[in-house]
Amino acid sequence: MFPTLLAIVPLAARPEDAPPGAALWITLAVIAVVIGWAVRYALKASDRRLDPKALAEARRQAEQKKLDDERVAAAEESRAAAEVKRQEQEKVAKKSEKKSDKKPEVATKGPPKPELLLPSDRPIADGLTKTREEGFIARLGKLFQGKQLDAALLDQVEEVLFTADIGVRTASKLLDELRARASRKELADVDAIWRYLEEEAIAILDSAPDPRSFKRRAEGPHVVLIVGVNGAGKTTSIGKLAHRMVARGDKVLLGAGDTFRAAAAEQLDIWARRVGADIVNGKDGSDPSAVLFEATTKALQGGYDTVILDTAGRLHTNVALVKELEKVKRVVQKAMPDAPHEIILVLDGTNGQNAIAQAKVFGDSLGVTSIALTKLDGTAKGGVILGIVDELKIPISWIGIGERMEDLRPFDKREFVDALFRRKGS
């Protein structure tokens, strides 16, 4: 090709010197060169087309490019969406910042509390009528009528206090202080004794910590273990408590840990259905710890707010019962290390001083956090509350003042003392 071009250059510069017919030859040469190029190009192209490896590679590259393009587009799309979301969040945050600048109470307000379905119309004083009218307070009231404060009266007060259900320790403490005040002439009349006893009752109740019973936990279910001897009122109290917690909006799970009596699990099952709680029931005679372990595990996995675990109340001795309950506690802790968050000892108020003895047995070894005192409606021995708190410093969380669903009430110190010391006509 080159010699042809070299020949063309001088001829193109001086065409008059070209030999005759040169133009024709040159034209033919150029055409030949062009055709040569075209043929070579066509052959190369057909080579490429026919090579299957090259074809597959080309296809693979095209495919890859398409995928890459798609990926880039998707990434770009999600980045753009994230950016829009971030901007929106920023706007909302700025708005709420502005709002909380203006009205801080909006930020501190929690979710609305669900209404309690229970009609709490019955005053606690109604459930304490027997204690007030027949118990030691009533006897003191009668004693003081029309009497002067003298040594003889103090002896009579001593007799009433020592035979009351407040326990010997608490009675002697009250009496010692009364005598000391009398000798210092600090008690003007019998009304001063009355006022002193009322103040002292409040002070005794204040000496125990706040029971903080059934406080909600944001981190997970609140697990409550219920203990006490047979017939104290555990299962019925669990039913009543569950109803209260369902009414406040909790998702409630019950654990039927009294597996020694077939009727006990059935009784709890009826309560669960009645109040709208779920229940974990073991087979008759199965290990109570295993049932309550299962209940605690289910509570954790099922997003429950409150778990109430029932337990058996009778073994051959109370010591054996406490041992069994200690095992229950340990096994529950295997499912949830910080559980149980509360251990409530249920005591039968009609037992009087015997209730104090039971509280000692359970309280010492189990780490009871509070006491539910039941059946106060049927007894004059309500003063036992003072003895329990004074001797054991375990707070009272709930009191039972009847058999109706709403008759298990949160214990209010003031309300209790007011109800106890209210005198006829006052």
378 binds, options Mg ion, ligand GDP, none, Cβ within 5 to 8 A by partner type: ligand GDP
Q: Single out the residue of 131, 170, 213, 235 in contact with Mg ion (rule: CB under 5 A).
A: 235
257 binds ligand GDP, rule: CB under 6 A: no
Those residues whose C-beta lies under 8 Å from the C-beta of residue 282, and which sit 6 or more positions away, are 256, 257, 259, 265, 288, 290, 291, 294
C-beta of 139 vs 240, nearer to ligand GDP: 240
173 class by beta-carbon count within 10 Å (0-12 exposed, 13-18 middle, 19+ buried): middle
Choose one: 33-41, 115-123, 160-168, 372-380; the region binding ligand GDP (CB under 6 A): 372-380
Positions in 252-271 near Mg ion (CB under 5 A):
264
Choose one: 22-30, 90-98, 320-328, 400-408; the region binding ligand GDP (CB under 6 A): 400-408
Angle at which helix 288-301 crosses helix 318-335, to 10 degrees, equals 30
C-beta of 144 vs 398, nearer to ligand GDP: 398
Positions in 288-317 near ligand GDP (CB under 6 A):
313
19: DSSP letter: P
Q: Single out the residue of 235, 351, 369, 370 in contact with ligand GDP (rule: CB under 6 A).
A: 235
248 binds, options Mg ion, ligand GDP, none, Cβ within 5 to 8 A by partner type: none
Query: In whole angstroms, how far apart are CA 401 and each of 92, 95, 139, 244, 408?
Result: 51, 51, 22, 15, 6
H or E stretch covering 39: helix 22-50
Q: Single out the residue of 232, 242, 275, 279 in contact with ligand GDP (rule: CB under 6 A).
A: 232
CA 371 to CA 344: how far, in whole Å? Answer: 5
Q: Single out the residue of 231, 335, 354, 413 in contact with ligand GDP (rule: CB under 6 A).
A: 231
CA 137 to CA 156: how far, in whole Å? Answer: 13
Q: Give the residue from 418, 359, 388, 397 showing the smallest Cα distance to 131.
A: 418
Torsion of CA 185, 188, 191, 192, to 10 degrees: -40
358 binds, options ligand GDP, Mg ion, none, Cβ within 5 to 8 A by partner type: none
Name the one residue in this structure whose structure tokens are 């209730």: 355
374 binds, options Mg ion, ligand GDP, none, Cβ within 5 to 8 A by partner type: ligand GDP
Choose one: 171-179, 215-223, 370-378, 409-417; the region binding ligand GDP (CB under 6 A): 370-378
Q: Is 410 helix (H, G, I), strand (E, B) or coil?
A: strand
Site string for Mg ion, 24-63 (x = CB under 5 A): ----------------------------------------
Residues touching ligand GDP, count (CB under 6 A): 19
CB 422 within 8 A of CB 132: yes
Q: How far is the CB of 258 from Mg ion (least distance, A)?
A: 5
C-beta of 141 vs 378, nearer to ligand GDP: 378
CA 22 to CA 103: how far, in whole Å? Answer: 103
Q: Single out the residue of 250, 324, 342, 377 in contact with ligand GDP (rule: CB under 6 A).
A: 377
Q: Which amino acid, 254?
A: L
228 binds ligand GDP, rule: CB under 6 A: yes
Q: Which amino acid, 258?
A: D
List residues near Mg ion by CB under 5 A: 234-235, 264
List residues near ligand GDP by CB under 6 A: 228, 230-236, 313, 346, 374-375, 377-378, 400-403, 407
